[in-house]
């Protein structure tokens, strides 16, 4: 079954009244616009976020609309950005702070791990950190080693953090609104390669522009996609693919090219995880392939593999396959070999079906 045929539940298949066709950039901007208008405690800030509108133009026009006290620029100091956001959250605001690239979060690690993630526990619930940290992530734009990393596993390891990664405009807006309204700190990862349309994993080849994609039909107003909820992106009966972000579309291309009836689960919320959706699918198909762009060793796929082994062992008819990035620093010159592409995912699908 194709993705379009499988979509049910929280996404409209076609635009309707009160709905606009959006890119992921426009959907994220719409989410921020809705929340700035709806809640006076929401503030948006980061490097180049205000006057310039963000390096990827996500916040374009918001400062002009809401003023410099609600949407403003920050110094090039990630530790300071997150530290200020945690203080704002503790005193009742709901800050949305942008780390310009996920690669830049490392100087803010202490503030994220020791302050934001632990504030609720350390204060026995007297204080919370309702902070949303937006971070463009992943490769595909020739950004090299310091603009292309996928560090999601580092965040899922930290107790007290929520980690989210949408793959389409509809989910991007709904998940961002849900993140801003959440009382826990949320790491909101945005695959840069999907900002203006999905790619199938072949060299710069688009699947379809967002203007023609069913998940680009985005409600104009307020709505949420619940955190901790996965989506059955493509229904199938032969094998389950667990993935997220850009790799959702790579996996879809691999399934189509191999002719294998794969069920694709888009995790959306990496942690906490929708384990019920995963277990339900793997028990149905009895085979599983895990796909992510980040490096293999200690990547998030290892946790997924362990959970499947714990919860689905007696249902499995083949070993769990993992398809990931290489265990190397990000190789700018070999970027498209580093990515799991449809060919690599396809080989994993065939191995899973052989046993």
- 222-234 pLDDT, tens digit per residue, is 999 999 999 999 9
| Percent with pLDDT over 90 in the chain | 85
For helices 300-312 and 275-285, give the axis angle rounded to 10 degrees.
Answer: 60
Whether 189 and 294 share a structural domain: no
Whether 190 and 235 share a structural domain: no
Does the residue 143 lie in any domain? yes
Confidence of residue 17 (pLDDT cuts 50, 70, 90): low
Both tokens assigned to 164: 């989210």
Does the residue 209 lie in any domain? no
Confidence of residue 333 (pLDDT cuts 50, 70, 90): confident
Whether 156 and 241 share a structural domain: no
Whether 133 and 188 share a structural domain: yes
Alpha-helix residue ranges (DSSP H) falling in 157-315:
169-181, 247-258, 275-285, 300-312
For the chain, the domain total comes to 2
pLDDT in tens, 229-256: 999 999 999 999 999 999 999 999 999 9
134 vs 165: CA distance, rounded Å: 10
Q: Is 147 a catalytic residue?
A: yes
Confidence of residue 184 (pLDDT cuts 50, 70, 90): very high
86 vs 80: CA distance, rounded Å: 10
Q: Does 163 or 198 have the greater pLDDT score? A: 163
Beta strands 262-266 and 288-295: pairing type?
unpaired
Instruction: Give the residue from 173, 194, 215 where a domain finishes.
Output: 194
Q: Which residue has the tokens 């949407």?
A: 71
In this predicted structure, which of 156-160, 210-214, 302-306 has the lowest mean pLDDT? Answer: 210-214
Whether 263 and 350 share a structural domain: yes
Give every CB contact of residue 107 below 8 A, 6+ residues apart in sequence.
77, 78, 79
Whether 266 and 123 share a structural domain: no
Does the residue 336 lie in any domain? yes
Q: Is the pLDDT of residue 192 over 50?
A: yes
| pLDDT computed for residue 318 by the predictor | 97
The CATH number of whichever domain residue 165 belongs to comes to: 3.40.50.970
Instruction: Give the residue from 178, 194, 210 where a domain finishes.
Output: 194
| pLDDT computed for residue 199 by the predictor | 80
Does the residue 61 lie in any domain? yes
What kind and span of H or E run contains 6? helix 3-6
49 vs 72: CA distance, rounded Å: 6
| pLDDT computed for residue 119 by the predictor | 97
Where residue 234 falls (left for φ over 0; alpha for ψ -120 to 50; beta otherwise) is beta
Q: Does 5 or 141 have the greater pLDDT score? A: 141
215 vs 21: CA distance, rounded Å: 9
Output the CA–CA distances (angstroms, integers) from residue 37 to 8, 19, 33, 46, in the order listed: 30, 18, 6, 19
Whether 248 and 349 share a structural domain: yes
For helices 24-38 and 169-181, give the axis angle rounded to 10 degrees.
Answer: 30
Could you tell me which of 154, 161, 198, 202 has the C-alpha nearest to residue 179? 161
Choice among 147, 202, 203, 311 that is catalytic? 147
Does the residue 181 lie in any domain? yes
Rg (CA), the chain: 19
Q: Does 17 or 340 have the greater pLDDT score? A: 340
CB–CB of 227/175 below 8 Å? yes
308 vs 277: CA distance, rounded Å: 11
Does the residue 244 lie in any domain? yes
Q: Which residue has the tokens 């965040």?
A: 155
Whether 173 and 292 share a structural domain: no
Average pLDDT of the segment spanning 65-69: 98
pLDDT in tens, 70-119: 999 999 999 999 999 999 999 999 999 999 999 999 999 999 999 999 99
234 vs 266: CA distance, rounded Å: 9
Beta strands 132-137 and 94-98: pairing type?
parallel
Q: Is the pLDDT of residue 42 over 50?
A: yes
Whether 129 and 251 share a structural domain: no
| pLDDT computed for residue 9 by the predictor | 43
Confidence of residue 335 (pLDDT cuts 50, 70, 90): confident
| pLDDT computed for residue 5 by the predictor | 41
Angle at 208 between CA 206 and CA 209, to 5 degrees: 95
Instruction: Give the residue from 194, 216, 247 where a domain finishes.
Output: 194
Whether 146 and 255 share a structural domain: no
The CATH number of whichever domain residue 297 belongs to comes to: 3.40.50.920
Whether 156 and 18 share a structural domain: yes
Range of the domain at 82: 8-194
CB–CB of 342/201 below 8 Å? yes
34 vs 27: CA distance, rounded Å: 10
Q: Report the C-alpha dihedral over residues 273, 277, 282, 284, rounded to 10 degrees.
A: 170
For 125-129, the CB contacts below 8 A with 24+ separation are 127/90, 128/89, 128/90, 128/183, 128/184, 129/85, 129/86, 129/89, 129/90, 129/184, 129/185
Does the residue 208 lie in any domain? no
Whether 150 and 293 share a structural domain: no
Residue 59 CA to its chain's centroid (Å): 18
Does the residue 219 lie in any domain? no
Per DSSP, the three-state class of 324 is strand
């Amino acid at each position: 079954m194709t993705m379009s045929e499988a979509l049910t539940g929280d996404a409209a298949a076609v635009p309707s009244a009160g709905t606009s066709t959006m890119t992921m950039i426009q959907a994220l901007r719409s989410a921020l616009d809705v929340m700035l208008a709806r809640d006076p405690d929401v503030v948006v800030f980061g490097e180049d976020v205000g006057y310039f509108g963000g390096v990827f133009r996500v916040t374009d026009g918001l400062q002009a609309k809401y003023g410099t006290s609600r949407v403003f620029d920050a110094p090039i100091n990630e530790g300071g950005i997150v530290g200020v956001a945690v203080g704002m959250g503790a005193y009742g605001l709901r800050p949305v702070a942008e780390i310009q690239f996920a690669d830049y979060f490392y100087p803010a690690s202490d503030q994220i791990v020791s302050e934001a993630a632990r504030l609720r526990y350390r204060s026995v619930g007297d204080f919370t950190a309702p902070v949303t940290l937006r971070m463009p992530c992943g490769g595909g734009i020739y950004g090299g080693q310091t603009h292309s990393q996928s560090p999601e596993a580092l965040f899922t390891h930290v107790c007290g953090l929520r980690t989210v990664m949408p793959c389409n405009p509809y989910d991007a807006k709904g998940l961002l609104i849900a993140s801003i309204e959440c009382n826990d700190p949320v790491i909101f990862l945005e695959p840069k390669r999907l900002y203006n349309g999905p790619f199938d994993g072949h060299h710069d080849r688009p699947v379809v522009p967002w203007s023609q994609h069913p998940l680009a039909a985005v409600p104009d107003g307020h709505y949420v996609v619940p955190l901790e909820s996965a989506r059955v992106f493509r229904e199938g009966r032969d094998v389950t693919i667990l993935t997220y972000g850009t790799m959702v579309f790579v996996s879809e291309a691999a399934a189509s090219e191999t002719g294998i009836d794969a069920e694709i689960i888009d995790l959306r919320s990496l942690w906490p995880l929708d384990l019920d959706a995963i277990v339900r699918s793997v028990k149905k198909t009895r085979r599983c392939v895990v796909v992510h762009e980040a490096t293999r060793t200690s990547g998030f796929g290892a946790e997924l593999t362990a959970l499947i082994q714990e919860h689905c062992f007696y249902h499995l008819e083949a070993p769990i396959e993992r398809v990931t990035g290489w265990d190397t620093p990000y190789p700018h010159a070999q970027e498209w070999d580093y990515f799991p592409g449809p060919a690599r995912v396809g080989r994993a699908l065939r191995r899973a079906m052989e046993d």
